[in-house]
Amino acid sequence: MNTRKVVFLFNSTLLIGTTFGFIMGFVLDLQTHINDLANLRFGGVAMIAITAAIWTVIAQMGFFAYLTIHRFGLGMFKSVSLWNKVQIVLIAFALFDLMFFRYLLFAEDGETILHFAVMPAMLLIYGWIVAKIKAKDTNQSAFVPALFFMIVVTTIEWIPALRENDLTFILNAIVPLLVANTWQILVLHRLHAQPNGRQPTVEMEQKRDKQTTKRTNEQRNKQGKKKKAK
């Protein structure tokens, strides 16, 4: 992508994530903020906006970090299907850890591990929906990477709030994170598909990935035939 597209992605994500995060923060303590505004006290409202913006920027950093990791994974495993399988394993680990470690650290008397399964289950459902939309808009091979991003990367970004075990803090964090990550993962291929000089489109990159996998398989087949011939 060129600079104009990167700037658009950054600004639009910051605006959308901050807006939804601000709405959530305002609603969670509605009466207090209404009273503050009635008395012309804007410090609390400003802090909500700043906090939402910070979480949105964290989501943006996580997104660009994942794009780098995704390319690194494709290069290391030399196969889209193998890299997808690795991501599926990491998704399972992330969901289990989100349930188990919160149970281990914060469980009170009478609470079972099932009480802590709700949060990862909801994250899985939401991530699955976003990944299906991504796959429908592009191709089926984009499903696993999108699901990985929405679950694993979001969970990593969410850790500072999860460590506090405060429901208000957790909700104030997850809303801008999910909104920003959803927007980024669903708008990226649309930006990438726009004409941009010599910059490859998303279809060209997908074709290149398939060709790389095909060449790798052909090389393995040739090596296997040589070994049999010996």
Neighbours of 72 (CB within 10 A): 11
Q: Rounded to whole angstroms, what are the CA distances from 82 to 47, 92, 145?
A: 44, 16, 12
Does the structure show a pLDDT above 60 at 157? yes
Vertex 161: Cα angle to 158 and 166 (nearest 5): 140
Give dist(CA 91, CA 85) in Å, integer.
10
Does the structure show a pLDDT above 70 at 198? no
Give dist(CA 70, CA 153) in Å, integer.
12
In the chain, the percentage of residues whose pLDDT exceeds 70 is 90
Q: What is the DSSP letter of 117?
A: S
Q: Which residue has the higher pLDDT, 186 or 210?
A: 186
**Has this prediction a pTM greater than 0.85?**
no
pLDDT value of position 24: 95
Task: Tell me the average pLDDT of the chain.
Answer: 88
User: What are the tokens at 62?
Assistant: 């996580």
Q: In 126-218, at which residue ranges do the beta strands (DSSP E only) sit?
A: none
What is the chain's length? 230
pLDDT value of position 186: 94
- Residue 155 CA, chain-centre distance (Å), reads 8
| Mean pLDDT across 9-32 | 93
In the chain, the percentage of residues whose pLDDT exceeds 90 is 59
Q: Which of 16-20, 71-75, 168-172, 192-196 has the lowest mean pLDDT?
A: 192-196
pLDDT value of position 79: 85
Strand, coil or helix: 222: helix
| Mean pLDDT across 130-154 | 94
User: What are the tokens at 36?
Assistant: 């503050």
Q: Which residue has the higher pLDDT, 2 or 125?
A: 125
pLDDT value of position 3: 84
Q: Rounded to whole angstroms, what are the CA distances from 173 to 61, 67, 192?
A: 15, 22, 28
* Distance spanning both ends of the chain, measured CA to CA: 49
Q: Which residue has the higher pLDDT, 69 or 199?
A: 69
Does the structure show a pLDDT above 80 at 208? no
pLDDT band at 229; cut points 50, 70, 90: low
Q: Which residue has the higher pLDDT, 3 or 53?
A: 53
pLDDT value of position 205: 61
